[in-house]
Amino acid sequence: MNAQHLTPILNVSNMEQSFDWFTRLGWTKRWDWQATPDAPVTFGAVGSGQCEIFLCLGAQGGSGQVGDREMGMWMSMWVAKVDAEFANCQANGIEVTRPPKDEPWGVREMHVRHPDGHIFRISQSSDCPEPA
């Protein structure tokens, strides 16, 4: 296999809430889909630069549960300035579960939680230092 592109699909419980959350994080709603004009939106996408994430209503791709626990996806996002993203999250009401921290594996990283429990590790490589 020689994969050319990968698009994660997140199961979500509320499409509009998810579009809003990603917009507050600084992403853009790219498109949405509904089976008929009067049906609810059940699929869509958000993007940032060349990155895109599909959103799926109602867990078509999986239950998101392990035993009796709801489990979200864990995903890394790489950015140039973690502290700037932290400030944006604070200003826009994004739940930060872990503030920016320099890690021993050579990244500065923070964690944010999507309303459906998905955790995004927002990381900055050590070869792209924050300005003083």
CA 127-87-95 angle, 5° bins: 105
Residue at 41 is within a domain? yes
- Answer yes or no: is 1 within a domain: no
Q: Is 61 left (phi over 0), alpha (psi -120 to 50) or beta?
A: alpha
Residue 23: domain span = 9-63+70-125
The contacts of residue 125 (CB under 8 Å, 6+ apart) are 78, 106, 107
22 in a structural domain = yes
In a domain, 79, yes or no: yes
Q: Does 53 have pLDDT greater than 60?
A: yes
> Cβ distance 71 to 117 under 8 Å?
yes
Number of structural domains (the chain) is 1
Query: CATH number, domain at 75?
Result: 3.10.180.10
Whole-model pTM: value is 0.79
Q: What pLDDT score does 61 carry?
A: 52
Query: What tokens were used for 46?
Result: 């958000």
Which tens digit of pLDDT belongs to each residue from 40-50? Answer: 999 999 999 99
- DSSP string covering 65-79, please? EETTEE---EEEEE-
Q: Is the pLDDT of residue 58 over 80?
A: no
In a domain, 131, yes or no: no
Contact 20, 85 (CB under 8 A): no
Asked, for residue 130, whether it belongs to a domain, the answer is no
Position 130 pLDDT exceeds 60: no
Instruction: Please give the Cα distance from 2 to 17 (Å, whole number).
Output: 35
Instruction: Indicate if the pLDDT at residue 8 is higher than 50.
Output: yes
Q: What is the DSSP string of 102-124?
A: E-TTSEEEEEEE-TTS-EEEEEE
Reply yes or no on whether the pLDDT at 65 is more than 70: no
Q: Per the structure block, which two tokens stand in for 78?
A: 């790489």
